[in-house]
Amino acid sequence: MSCFKNLYHDVRAATAIEYGLLAALIAVVLIAGITLIGSDLSNTFNEASNAI
């Protein structure tokens, strides 16, 4: 019976690790996207400012 309990706890830990990795991947993608959009937006505002 204790073998089944240990297996259950191991599966929960593996699931928690997978969720953590997924959250980290999403964070990296969001940071990269915001960085790219931020620099493009900055260039757009600078061009508009120079045109005025």
In this prediction the pTM is: 0.60
Q: Residue 36: what pLDDT?
A: 85
> Residue 2 and residue 19: Cα distance in Å, rounded?
26
Residue among 12, 8, 32 nearest 20 (CA): 12
Specify the pLDDT at position 16.
Answer: 83
**pLDDT in single tens digits along all 52 residues of the chain:** 566 666 566 667 778 889 999 999 999 999 999 988 888 888 889 999 999 8
Please name the amino acid found at residue 43.
Answer: N
Lookup: tokens for 39: 């620099």
